[in-house]
């Protein structure tokens, strides 16, 4: 399963705010277990959608200066309504402040005019080169993959050929979560990963 929980970015003001959508499909794997007779998007994945949206606003605001953007804290998380298959979750995130490597964000998710989720998030941004030997190679690869993914999420000015498959990094490249928290850390089979 790819760990990209956004389908399209509909509005972006880099470094300030973002609006994105996630259309929930009945074919998503986790719905078989959550819950078999009442499939709904798990709250933690709704929160991850908001985190991913906020991370894009941060990345674009600093022109991909940091390869890794992760959730460090979620405060005042309030769930209001379910997101069922066939519904569109609209996620908005507004950057409140930045202090060193930390960014404070006010975020919400809604289905139509009903609020599904609100939260205050703290995200941390950094480069792997600052934490591990040879991390600069990881940073370069992650930045390249993030730039490719961005052209899919927000394809402004890019014509799509008829029958062209939307993808990045080759036909079997994948986006995975590292420890379930770091959705920006990528591996790709195109480089011999699988």
User: What average pLDDT does the segment 110-131 reach?
Assistant: 97
Supply the residues annotated as catalytic: 34
pTM of the shown model: 0.80
pLDDT one-digit tens code per residue, 147-182: 999 999 998 855 444 444 444 443 333 333 333 333
In a domain, 119, yes or no: yes
User: Which CATH number does the domain housing residue 99 bear?
Assistant: 3.10.129.10
Is residue 2 in a domain?
A: no
Percent of the chain with pLDDT over 70: 79
Residue 3 lies in a domain: no
CA geometry: angle at 47 spanning 184 and 45, to 5°? 80
Residues forming beta bridges with residue 90, ordered by sequence position: 21, 110
The pLDDT, as a whole number, for residue 157 is 59
Residue 189 pLDDT > 50, yes or no? no
Whole-number pLDDT of residue 191: 38
Is residue 60 one of the residues assigned to a domain?
yes
Q: What is the pLDDT of residue 156?
A: 81
Residue 125 lies in a domain: yes
Q: Which structural domain range is residue 98 located in?
A: 8-191
- In this structure, is residue 166 part of a structural domain? yes
> Are 166 and 152 within 8 A, CB to CB?
yes
- Under the banding of pLDDT at 50, 70 and 90, the label for residue 2 is low
Number of domains in the chain: 1
Q: Is residue 47 part of a domain?
A: yes
DSSP the chain: ------SEEEEEETTTEEEEEEE--TT-GGGGTS-TTS----HHHHHHHHHHHHHHHHHHHTTT--SEEEEEEEEEEEE-S---TT-EEEEEEEEEEEETTEEEEEEEEEETTEEEEEEEEEEEEE-GGGTSTTHHHHHHHHHHHHHHHHHHHS-TT----TTPPP-SSSTT-B---BTTTBTT--B-GGGT--
Q: Tens of pLDDT along 68-90?
A: 999 999 999 999 999 999 999 99
> Within a domain: residue 144?
yes
């Amino acid at each position: 399963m790819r760990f990209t929980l956004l389908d399209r970015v509909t509005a972006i003001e880099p470094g300030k705010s973002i609006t994105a959508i996630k259309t929930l499909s009945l074919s998503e794997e986790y719905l078989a277990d959550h819950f078999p007779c009442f499939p709904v998007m798990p709250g933690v994945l709704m929160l991850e959608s908001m985190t991913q949206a906020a991370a894009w606003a941060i990345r674009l605001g600093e022109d991909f200066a940091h390869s890794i953007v992760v959730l460090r804290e979620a405060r005042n998380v309030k769930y209001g309504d379910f997101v069922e298959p066939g519904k569109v979750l609209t996620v908005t995130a507004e950057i409140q402040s930045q202090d060193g490597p930390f960014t404070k964000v006010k975020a919400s998710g809604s289905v139509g005019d009903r609020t599904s989720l609100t939260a205050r998030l703290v995200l941390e941004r950094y480069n792997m080169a600052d934490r591990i030997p040879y991390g600069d190679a990881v940073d370069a690869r992650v930045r390249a993959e993030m730039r490719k993914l961005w052209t899919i999420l927000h394809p402004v000015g890019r014509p799509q050929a008829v029958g062209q498959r939307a993808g990045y990094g080759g036909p079997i490249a994948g986006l995975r979560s590292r420890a379930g928290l770091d959705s920006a850390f990528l591996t790709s089979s195109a480089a011999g990963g699988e």
